[in-house]
């Protein structure tokens, strides 16, 4: 009569190994997905910061134009005698 006591153990151990492999595979996939999500969030943050920097630069340029226009009004259409430091460079 054949000894069947070893076969179930072999199947159980191979199933456990398969489960471990599957678990490891899913962990790798989750880790890669987390990295992709973080990279995507970082790219979105970079785009937002670039947009904010452009808006800030535009606001600064607009403020400079406003100040220059105000000085011209104060000086009857002529530029001021002393230019501001930011305008001379």
Segment 41-67 shows an average pLDDT of: 95
Residue-wise pLDDT for 73-86, tens only, equals 887 777 777 777 77
Residue 2: other Cβ atoms inside 10 A: 6
Segment 22-36 shows an average pLDDT of: 93
pLDDT at 38: 97
pTM recorded for the entire structure: 0.56
Q: Which residues are CB-neighbours of 68 under 8 A, at least 6 positions away?
A: 79, 87
């Amino acid at each position: 009569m054949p000894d069947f006591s070893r076969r179930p153990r072999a199947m159980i151990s191979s199933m456990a190994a398969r489960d471990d492999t599957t678990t490891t595979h899913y962990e790798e996939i989750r880790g890669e997905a987390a990295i992709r999500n973080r990279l995507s969030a970082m790219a979105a943050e970079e785009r937002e910061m670039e947009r904010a920097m452009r808006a800030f630069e535009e606001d600064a340029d607009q403020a400079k134009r406003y100040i220059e226009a105000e000085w011209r009004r104060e000086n009857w259409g002529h530029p001021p005698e002393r230019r501001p430091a930011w305008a001379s460079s």
